[in-house]
Structure 1
Amino acid sequence: MKAIWGQKMAKVPISWMVLLFMCFWAYMADAEYVKYKDSKQPLNVRIKDLMSQMTLEEKIGQMVQIDRQFASAKVMKKYFIGSIFSGGGSAPAQRASAETWINMVNDFQKGSLSTRLGIPMIYGIDAVHGHNTVYKATIFPHYVGLGATRDPTLVKRIGAATALEVRATGISYVFAPCIAVCRDPRWGRCYESYSEDPKIVQAMTEIISGLQEKKSQLVLNTMWAMVEQPKVSMRTTR
């Protein structure tokens, strides 16, 4: 009986086997295809596809930004958190090395990517006058001091240097620069303003070109007031 069955199997054309395999492969490929992860699709198509699959909880989570001290891979996965922020002094440990920062950011990212939709999180940090939260990073004068130089080329170079150090810690999003025009000293952050003169502030926004150079490109979250520079997206005030 076994011999007969074997003979029958031997008579099955190889072309049929190949066709069957190709059909199975095509089915599996189609089953694994995710439109919003397809970089060949138009951005709006990818966004629409992703949004259509998100639950209310996932949408809320993506709009939430938490401080680093409350983040973990488990939290990122459970609540679908969209972004994390390191404010002044918010570091993984005292005198943490660049490697420690990278490992921390990667751990948070693994939590985000392990969610149902695998949406990566965004990590942002206050890098206002250099990568000032990180141990042994280069610290530059604050904006009120840089504004006194009246040197846009200098601040562009400072932006480029800051971007390189930020990327070296695994971060691609900075809460900078501040291009507020401070004319009332009662505002407690006048030191973050280049000048009370809008023209000087506008000239000093050349720092943005440095921060966003291709070799060290960062996403910016710019604080603004009274004056805008067309080449940067003014998204938030704080």
Structure 2
Amino acid sequence: MGSSRNKFTSLLLMFCLVVLVRAEYAKYKDPKQPLAVRINDLLGRMTLAEKIGQMTQIERVNATAEAMSKYFIGSVLSGGGSVPAPQASAGDWASMVNEMQKGSLSTRLGIPMIYGIDAVHGNNNAYRATIFPHNIGLGATRDPMLVKRIGEATALEVRATGISYAFAPCIAVCRDPRWGRCYESYSEDPKVVQAMTTLISGLQGDAPSDYTGRPYVGGR
């Protein structure tokens, strides 16, 4: 009887220990924890290789589920014209992104990757996506609400491909047209550029009513 009781006690203690370890391990994944606590907890668990991997962004052509898992890659990008296949559908894009994400989530810490795409005037890499004028043309409209609606449309078409990160907008004030990307500036007038930052709330969504000034990242 005593032996059975001791075994039961040992098993119970082991179970409690496992529960405690799992609870501690999940702290950085717990959305109820303060952001600073989650960040510090995660950083404290990461190896040097994992930190280096998370700071690395690779091009789509080099990204596979295996590479994401082996090297702990933090983000992937599609540069101009970098697509999964000619005339790829939104489903093709989403399948590609999901496959890479599976590799990232299979790692020890399960840190999801970020996929970024050049959607600077619409989701222009995606077949049949809506293409909008470059920023220099939009600035000429002097219509911030139009620019916001363009941001909203772009966000919807980016999310339809399974991507949540767009390399946009370019909030630059171009004073010299010899700069090769001057067309990405809304104007040489800072006031016009400032007015056109409505594209940001179009891409991200408006800040919630209880916004306190902390950085806000919306989602669609």
Aligned match of 2:82? 90
Give secondary structure in 2 for the equivalent of 1:66.
strand
Amino acid at match of 1:99: G
- Following superposition, the deviation at residue 232 of structure 1 comes to 7.8
Between the aligned partners of 1:177 and 1:232, the Cα distance in structure 2 is 17
The higher radius of gyration belongs to 1
| Structure 1 range deviating more: 99-108 or 40-49 | 40-49
Equivalent runs, 1:177-188 vs 2, <5 Å: 177-188=169-180
Structure 1: unaligned runs, 5 residues or longer: 1-7, 215-229, 234-238
- Following superposition, the deviation at residue 190 of structure 1 comes to 1.0
What is the aligned counterpart of 2:197 among 168, 182, 205?
A: 205
Structure 2: unaligned runs, 5 residues or longer: 207-212
Aligned match of 1:56? 48
Aligned match of 2:168? 176
Between the aligned partners of 2:181 and 2:100, the Cα distance in structure 1 is 31
Between the aligned partners of 1:179 and 1:23, the Cα distance in structure 2 is 58
Amino acid at match of 2:179: W
Between the aligned partners of 1:135 and 1:147, the Cα distance in structure 2 is 26
- Following superposition, the deviation at residue 213 of structure 1 comes to 1.2
Aligned match of 1:27? 17
Give secondary structure in 1 for the equivalent of 2:77.
strand
Q: State whether structure 2 residue 139 is matched by structure 1 residue 147.
A: yes
Amino acid at match of 2:59: D
Between the aligned partners of 2:111 and 2:125, the Cα distance in structure 1 is 27
Aligned match of 2:182? 190
- Following superposition, the deviation at residue 57 of structure 1 comes to 0.8
Alignment RMSD, CA only? 2.5
Deviation string 1:103-148 (CA, Å, 9 cap, x unpaired) is 1111111101111111111111110111111001011111111111
| Structure 1 range deviating more: 46-55 or 30-39 | 30-39
Aligned match of 2:157? 165
Give secondary structure in 2 for the equivalent of 1:161.
helix
